[in-house]
Structure 1
Amino acid sequence: MTDRDRFVQKGAAASLPVAYDGPPRDFYFLLLPKATMLPVAGAIEPLRIANQVTGRELYRWFIMTEDGRPVTCSNGMTVTPDMALQPLPSEATGFVCSGVEPQHAAGEATLNWLRHEDRFGRRLGGICTGAFALAQAGLLRGQSFTLHWENQPGFVEAFPDLAPSPGIYEISGRYMTCGGGNAATDLMLTLIEEQHGKNLAIIVADMCLHMRAGRNSAPQKSNYAVAIGSRNPRLLTALQLMQEAIEDPLSIAELCARLGISRRQLERLFQRYLGQSPKQVYYEMRLNHAYALMSETSMRVTEIALASGFSSATHFSRQFKARFGASPHFFRKSWS
């Protein structure tokens, strides 16, 4: 198979002419162990489709692993790379692709490679939880970046001086990051539009059956109104206030004071729309936060308790076991 056969395939859609006579733009995807496959495919397929619908080799893509050997993704599937880590061509872009247990995924070879490529001014990015590796390599200071929402609590605890955005993707100078899943497609569509125009990006999105988010600041998660099926402003504000005060929880009295309603009104509001009391909902938020920290960080149980708004580790352990069926210590031991 020639390079053209690999990168430019025939399709049923009519060819779209593009006014471009330059070389193809190369992307290198470094897959770390347990990388999430959906965003990797979501990043590569728009490049393939752009070539297909134009009949031109606009893009090329290559898969790397640290040692050049196959890597097992988070879904158990194995991917055979094109090559081991190597220096990038001067105009290429390198993405580090991570997924489950990102804090342990990048070896020293990956971190040294990222630092080396950064010193030479290469464009670099992180897909899904790839921001962990970029942060470990010291590349995210002063940059706008993001990663999958599930892993953001653990990231913030590991790197307290770095603040990921809630958006689906971020482009900050030479650095590009996305939250995984379909966000990788949105990021690539933006890059395609910047280089070859809006018409091509629209056609590629249609070929992917993908409805573009429209802006990188679109949130990764459904907002509370969608999640609970209500647009009641006081309920939504209450939930937002709770979410913003996990480590130092508001009392129900403080919550009512900020909302300008009585405790009885607040209780009725939560029972009507959520079937739970405000206290129960708040506990759920804080325990879910603790679960994320337990899964994604090496923080001690006492530290996780405090970061989740529990003043007593004993009380936290009881609540955690009641919610998840195992004590924090047993939970961590079973996953180690």
Structure 2
Amino acid sequence: MSLIEHGGESDMVHHWSRDAWASVRANEPVTVAVYLAHGFELLALSSALDVFRLANKAAAREAFRWRTVSHWGEAVRASCGIVVAADADLAQERRYLQQLERPALALICGDEPDEGRETKVLSAWLRECRQRRIAIGGFGSGVAALAKAGMLNDRKCAIHWEELPAFKERFMRVEAAATVYEVDNDIWTCAGGTAAFDMLVELVKLNCGEPVAVNVGELAVAGRVRTGDERQRLPLLRQHGRINPTVVKLIELMQRNLATPLTMADLAAAAGLSRRQVERLFRNDLGRSPCRYFRELRLEHAKLLLAQSSMPVLEIAVSCGFVSASHFSRCFRETHQIAPHEARNLSAGRYLGV
């Protein structure tokens, strides 16, 4: 993927006055190195690169340039099967760190298998980038590569909601959240997918100014650009209309207390309402009681841990607030029509759909 060609783009019509454009900082191009691991998510990559392309178009200059990198310089197959060529191998990229071509930002798209040589070399490159004060970031599973390199210890990061339970168990020093994206000390992380678009529009705003960032959203026909602290989802709600803010607040409280289930008295006190009022809000908005919703939330958390971790069933039961493995197994079977140990033996695709 070579640098963007600008043919004809300088003639586009912008939506701001000359005074607004005069305030945009005319910096040197920001060079971005994007590392591709096999099985990376194409949607995240294309979302990111199109932000850079559209920023160049909106700014009518080369605000960003980028190159793709793989371990050996080989073409890399995405999870959807499409193969993407690499511009450089990791050895060359490490040499760039001492040259004018060094990047201002290194982004990791996908994660290498654990304990392999690729992981060790990738971690070494990331540490070198930090030593040279180069910003780093990751999309989706690429965030795990940053964590394995020790880059996220005692820092905030965004993780895809489906991967969050296992990630928290594995990297206990990392402050992981199911937000759209996080930026902590020049470390940019997002959940993957279209969250890469939202995150990098913020990068464009920092480097090119808000008018360019807004124009990128318009050119991409984005309904709106999300802020980093927005939730990726409200769990267990497949289709819903407007949710009462008090219900959202209580759901977030439940998510923070999965291991120590809250009582109706706790929920009512947190909302500043009576038990009956809290019950009515949940039944009106979600069609079930707060207690039932909380149990479903804990069981979903357990389902993700069973699929993504090797934790014993008893530990999963305790971490999800069940008093015993037998109680957990009974509740899990009632909800999913399958026992926890049987679910773990299924393939991930079949299991997550139970």
TM-based fold match above 0.5: yes
Match of 1:45 in 2: 50
Contact persistence 1:96–1:125 (CA under 8 A): yes
Point out the more displaced range, 36-45 or 193-202.
193-202
> Where do residues 1-336 of structure 1 align in structure 2 (5 Å cutoff)?
6-11=4-9, 14=12, 23-85=28-90, 86-87=93-94, 88=97, 89-98=101-110, 107-213=119-225, 215-221=227-233, 228-229=240-241, 231-232=243-244, 235-252=247-264, 254-256=266-268, 266-335=278-347
Question: Which structure 2 segments of 5+ residues have no match?
Answer: 15-20, 349-354
Deviation at 1:94, TM superposition (A): 0.6
Give the distance between the partners of 2:339 and 2:238, measured in 1 at CA.
32
- Count residues with an aligned counterpart: 333
Indicate the SS of the match to 1:150: coil
Contact persistence 1:290–1:304 (CA under 8 A): yes
Contact persistence 2:76–2:85 (CA under 8 A): yes
Give the distance between the partners of 1:300 and 1:225, measured in 2 at CA.
28
Superimposed CA distance per residue, residues 305-334 of structure 1 (whole angstroms, 9 cap, x where no aligned partner): 111111222332333344334433333333
Distance 1:207 1:249, change over 3 A: same
Deviation at 1:125, TM superposition (A): 0.8
TM-score by length of 1: 0.83
Give the distance between the partners of 2:208 and 2:274, measured in 1 at CA.
57
Give the distance between the partners of 2:245 and 2:213, measured in 1 at CA.
37
Superimposed CA distance per residue, residues 277-310 of structure 1 (whole angstroms, 9 cap, x where no aligned partner): 3332122100111122223323222221111111
Deviation at 1:154, TM superposition (A): 2.0
Contact persistence 2:154–2:175 (CA under 8 A): no
Give the distance between the partners of 1:145 and 1:301, measured in 2 at CA.
27
Deviation at 1:48, TM superposition (A): 0.9
2:143 maps to amino acid: A
Superimposed CA distance per residue, residues 112-141 of structure 1 (whole angstroms, 9 cap, x where no aligned partner): 222232233322111223221111111112
Deviation at 1:256, TM superposition (A): 4.8
Give the distance between the partners of 1:199 and 1:104, measured in 2 at CA.
45
Indicate the SS of the match to 1:134: helix
Indicate the SS of the match to 1:334: coil
Indicate the SS of the match to 1:60: strand
2:107 maps to amino acid: F
Superimposed CA distance per residue, residues 256-278 of structure 1 (whole angstroms, 9 cap, x where no aligned partner): 56556666665555444333233
Indicate the SS of the match to 2:183: strand
Point out the more displaced range, 281-290 or 153-162.
153-162
Distance 1:213 1:332, change over 3 A: same
1:118 maps to amino acid: R
Deviation at 1:104, TM superposition (A): 8.9
Distance 1:277 1:52, change over 3 A: closer
Deviation at 1:44, TM superposition (A): 0.7
Distance 1:12 1:114, change over 3 A: closer
Distance 1:140 1:240, change over 3 A: closer
Superimposed CA distance per residue, residues 128-180 of structure 1 (whole angstroms, 9 cap, x where no aligned partner): 23221111111112433322233222221112222124542222233212222
Percent sequence identity over aligned pairs = 32
Indicate the SS of the match to 1:160: coil
CA RMSD of aligned residues (A): 3.5
Give the distance between the partners of 2:88 and 2:330, measured in 1 at CA.
49
Deviation at 1:211, TM superposition (A): 4.1
Question: Which structure 1 segments of 5+ residues have no match?
Answer: none
Give the distance between the partners of 1:281 and 1:41, measured in 2 at CA.
37
Distance 1:38 1:262, change over 3 A: same
Point out the more displaced range, 175-184 or 302-311.
175-184
Distance 1:11 1:320, change over 3 A: farther
Indicate the SS of the match to 2:335: helix
Deviation at 1:201, TM superposition (A): 1.7
Point out the more displaced range, 86-95 or 211-220.
211-220
Distance 1:276 1:199, change over 3 A: closer
